[in-house]
């Protein structure tokens, strides 16, 4: 019998995560850190939606606010305007798609679920930017990605000082899991927050200790796709970081990851298949 914590309820259907799944990234921002992930025209959004699904992703993670440290802080209205545009296109071209919306704003999350049937809310701030987020996702009855971060995207790299990195992060997440449980949130996904309020070395320390996040008995999402932790260590740029991404995704699966959030869906799907074939 498969453990219940490796199942997630997406729009009334239970999905098994005992074999890892892929979440494909679709950004409708002009300034995401990886130029290859920016989609702003109707044609590009429709094509990217089809590509993500055809290559085998379970979910599409739709983002309209760039979380890069030097990104522009846009208003909730502008964020929602971008999401409205993209969600209408996705509904028309792939109505069956399971959509996760990457937002830290409760009002945006509420509209996306109520107006477009979005399946998951992916909050990079773990509820610290908008104190209404936890109550909102509880009322919406949708899965919630709880990520660890300090500060806001524009200041997060100023908050990398920890007394003890892993225990501090686990304790912070544990408090928030308890808050969410008390509000009645059933489906919680843990995200360690690679690249958010962590130095390069801290990111790799977290990857080394990834299995420790199994203490929560909750699905684990890892998002390291083409991030600076790769190109700052190996050299190059996000555009040249696919190989490093694949290596780290392999380590993430071996460390217990249930969901890989990626730009390159086919490569991640192939990685999962090969790890499963070896049976490690």
Reading the block at residue 23, the tokens are: 């979440």
Is 277 annotated in the active site?
no
Count structural domains, the chain.
1
pLDDT in tens, 241-277: 999 999 999 999 999 999 999 999 999 999 999 999 9
The pLDDT, as a whole number, for residue 1 is: 42
Reading the block at residue 211, the tokens are: 């299995």
The pLDDT, as a whole number, for residue 36 is: 57
pLDDT band at 41; cut points 50, 70, 90? confident
CA dihedral sign of residues 42, 9, 275, 212: positive
The pLDDT, as a whole number, for residue 109 is: 98
- The Cα 48–Cα 41 span in angstroms is 11
The pLDDT, as a whole number, for residue 40 is: 72
If one counts every other C-beta atom within 10 angstroms of the C-beta of residue 70, the result is: 9
Looking at the chain, how many residues does it have? Answer: 280
Angle at 236 between CA 233 and CA 238, to 5 degrees: 95
SS3 99: strand
- The Cα 33–Cα 227 span in angstroms is 8
If one counts every other C-beta atom within 10 angstroms of the C-beta of residue 26, the result is: 26
Spatial CA neighbour of 268 closest among 35, 54, 56: 56
SS3 62: strand
Reading the block at residue 113, the tokens are: 């679920």
The pLDDT, as a whole number, for residue 170 is: 97
What domain range is 8 assigned to?
4-278
Q: Which residue among 43, 92, 261, 277 is the active-site one?
A: 261
Spatial CA neighbour of 149 closest among 191, 181, 188, 113: 191
- The Cα 31–Cα 33 span in angstroms is 6
Is 105 annotated in the active site?
no
CATH number at residue 207: 3.20.20.20
pLDDT in tens, 13-22: 999 999 999 9
DSSP string, 211-266: GGGGGG-S-BEE--TT-HHHHHHH-S-GGG-HHHHHHHHHHHHHTT-SEEEES-HH
SS3 51: helix
pLDDT band at 280; cut points 50, 70, 90? confident
pLDDT in tens, 101-135: 999 999 999 999 999 999 999 999 999 999 999 99
pTM for the predicted model, two decimal places: 0.93
Residue 35 has pLDDT above 70, yes or no: no
Q: Report the phi/psi class of residue 165: left, alpha or beta, with left for phi > 0 and alpha for psi in -120 to 50.
A: alpha
3-state helix, strand, coil in the chain (%, to 5): 45, 15, 40
pLDDT in tens, 48-83: 999 999 999 999 999 999 876 666 788 999 999 999
pLDDT band at 279; cut points 50, 70, 90? confident
Q: Which residue among 227, 232, 273, 277 is the active-site one?
A: 227
pLDDT in tens, 207-243: 999 999 999 999 999 999 999 999 999 999 999 999 9
The pLDDT, as a whole number, for residue 86 is: 95
pLDDT in tens, 149-204: 987 777 777 778 999 999 999 999 999 999 999 999 999 999 999 999 999 999 99
- The Cα 218–Cα 5 span in angstroms is 5
């Amino acid at each position: 019998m498969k453990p219940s914590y490796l199942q997630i309820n997406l729009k009334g259907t239970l999905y098994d995560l005992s074999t890892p799944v892929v979440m494909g990234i679709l950004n409708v921002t002009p300034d995401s850190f990886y130029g290859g992930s920016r989609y702003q025209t109707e044609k590009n959004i429709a094509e990217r939606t089809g590509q993500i699904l055809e290559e085998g992703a379970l979910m599409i993670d739709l983002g309209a606010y760039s979380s890069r440290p030097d990104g522009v802080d846009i208003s909730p209205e502008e964020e929602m305007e971008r999401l409205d545009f993209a969600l209408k296109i996705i509904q028309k071209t792939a109505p069956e798609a399971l959509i996760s919306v990457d937002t830290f704003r409760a009002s945006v999350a509420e509209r996306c679920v109520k107006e477009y049937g979005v399946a998951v809310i992916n909050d990079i701030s773990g509820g610290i930017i908008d104190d209404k987020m936890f109550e909102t996702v509880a009322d919406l009855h949708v899965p919630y990605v709880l990520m660890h971060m300090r500060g806001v995207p524009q200041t997060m790299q100023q908050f990398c000082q920890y007394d003890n990195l892993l225990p501090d992060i686990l304790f912070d997440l544990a408090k928030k899991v308890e808050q969410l449980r008390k509000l009645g949130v059933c489906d919680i996904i843990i995200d360690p927050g690679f690249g958010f309020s962590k130095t390069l070395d801290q990111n790799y320390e977290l990857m080394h200790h990834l299995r420790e996040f199994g203490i929560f008995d909750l699905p684990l999402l890892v998002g390291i796709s083409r991030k600076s932790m790769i190109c700052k260590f190996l050299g190059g740029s996000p555009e040249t970081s696919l190989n490093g991404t694949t290596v780290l995704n392999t380590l993430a699966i071996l460390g217990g990851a249930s969901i890989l959030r990626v730009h390159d869906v086919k490569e991640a799907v192939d990685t999962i298949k090969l790890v499963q074939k070896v049976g490690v």
